[in-house]
Amino acid sequence: MDDADNKQDEVKLNISQSWNDPNADQALKVVSSDGTIFYIPAYIFQSQSVALREMIKDIALPTTNDSTPVSADPSKTLSFTDDTLESSSVLHFFLSVIGDKSLEAALEESTTTDYVPLYHYTMMFAKKWDCPQALKILKAWLFQLSLMGQKHPHIKPLDVFIIAAKFDERQTAAEVIAKYKRSEDCLAPPHSGRWGFIPSNQELHMDNIPIQAWEEIPSVYTYALSRSISSSTPDICFE
């Protein structure tokens, strides 16, 4: 028994309410790091990533014999173990992303209200497993969020700026700065899961960024932010 098997023994397994049919066509049994089972058509993961496709191809089907119960699960099993990037909430959101859902629908269907780390971890999951289509969608949504300023109910400008900085999405980060305007719309954090929060009536300025958020931003982006605020022109420079 390998480490993944040992870890799955330590958590109580439950079945996803959305992905719960072991008899689905070519069902693949996917087990999240926190013990949730998803039954998904294997082609969904296979079409997203060469790495996942090869991993699934190498999984052996469960062995059966005359004493195997008729109810035994015949599905191939893919077990994830990363507590941060491969939790049930991340897998659920990832499946929504690649399932032709809108951003709002994907957030509405998510199994957590910590939307900012969920978004970030799902991008990291897509990067880890080399899922270019999912990463493209997430980056496009992030750019859309950068144009919204304070208007999105859950994901705020500082959140977008930090995620963009972590993935070196310079155009998105620049749009956050360019579109930022103070308002009275959001003076308290809409939820707790984030690096930090700037009340909407304050400027997007280094002096207003909480230290825990400031420490998450690559230096080239803090430099660009400080330059854009101190300059009399709106030009944003990352050099």
pLDDT at 235: 53
The mean per-residue pLDDT over the stretch 57-61 comes to: 85
How remote is the C-alpha of 16 from its chain's centroid?
A: 18
Per-residue pLDDT of 204-234, as tens digits, reads 988 999 999 999 999 999 988 888 765 544 4
pLDDT at 92: 98
The mean per-residue pLDDT over the stretch 41-69 comes to: 81
Fold of 15-57+75-231: Potassium Channel Kv1.1; Chain A (3.30.710)
pLDDT at 72: 46
Q: Residue 47: pLDDT above 50?
A: yes
Look-up: residue for tokens 């420490």? 215
Q: How far apart, in whole angstroms, are the C-alpha atoms of residue 135 and residue 178? A: 24
| Burial group, residue 156, by CB count within 10 angstroms (0-12, 13-18, 19+) | buried
| Burial group, residue 119, by CB count within 10 angstroms (0-12, 13-18, 19+) | buried
pLDDT at 121: 98
pLDDT at 69: 44
Q: Kindly report the three-state secondary structure assignment for every residue of 43-93.
A: HHHHCCCHHHHHHHHCCCCCCCCCCCCCCCCCCEEEECCCCCCCCHHHHHH
pLDDT at 67: 47
Q: How far apart, in whole angstroms, are the C-alpha atoms of residue 9 and residue 193? A: 29
Confidence band for 6, pLDDT divided at 50, 70 and 90 = low
Per-residue pLDDT of 91-141, as tens digits, reads 999 999 999 999 999 999 999 999 999 999 999 999 999 999 999 999 999
Q: At CB < 8 A and 24+ separation, what contacts does 11-17 make? A: 11/35, 13/37, 15/39, 16/88, 16/92
Sketch the domain layout of the chain as residue ranges: 15-57+75-231
The mean per-residue pLDDT over the stretch 30-44 comes to: 96
